[in-house]
């Protein structure tokens, strides 16, 4: 199932900028719970580029397209996947008890 995403691209492909098609695949890999380390190794990019996609700063329409593609590729998994948006958790706590993490 997720084995197709674990194959490594050529070195030249890993150095190119991310495209909207890559962003769709990155969303799908997130939902299939492929490790971030493996996603970064596949695309050879800075981790911030992955988070820009997940936060919607780059390729904002890619999430909606990824939902459609996911439903086509994995129809039996749609009811078992958390399609929630990425939520950034600050490493600097505003209070020592960190109760804001439970909001």
- How high is the pLDDT of residue 99? 65
Residue 86 is predicted with a pLDDT of: 82
pLDDT one digit per residue (tens) for the chain, 103 residues: 566 665 655 554 556 899 999 999 999 999 999 999 999 999 999 999 999 999 999 999 999 999 999 999 999 998 888 888 888 877 765 666 666 666 6
Q: What is the pLDDT at residue 84?
A: 84
> Per the domain annotation, does 36 fall within a domain?
yes
CA 15 to chain centre: 18
56 domain residue, yes or no? yes
Tokens of 97: 């008890």
Whether 43 contacts 52, CB under 8 Å: no
Please check whether residue 98 lies inside any domain of the structure.
no
DSSP-assigned letter for residue 32: T
Residue 35 lies in a domain: yes
Residue 29 belongs to domain spanning: 18-78
**Other residues' Cβ atoms within 10 Å of the Cβ of residue 41:** 14
Counting the structural domains of the chain, the total is 1
pTM for this model (two decimals): 0.74
Residue 13 in any domain: the answer is no
Is 89 among the domain residues?
Answer: no
């Amino acid at each position: 199932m997720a084995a197709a995403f674990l194959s490594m691209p050529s070195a030249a492909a890993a150095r190119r900028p991310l495209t909207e098609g890559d962003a769709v695949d990155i969303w799908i890999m997130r939902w299939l719970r492929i490790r971030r380390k493996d996603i970064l190794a596949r695309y050879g990019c800075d981790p911030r580029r992955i988070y820009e996609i997940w936060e919607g700063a780059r390729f904002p329409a890619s999430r909606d397209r990824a939902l459609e593609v996911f439903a086509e590729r994995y129809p039996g998994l749609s009811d078992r996947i958390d399609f929630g948006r990425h939520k950034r958790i600050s490493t600097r706590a505003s209070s020592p008890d960190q109760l804001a993490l439970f909001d």
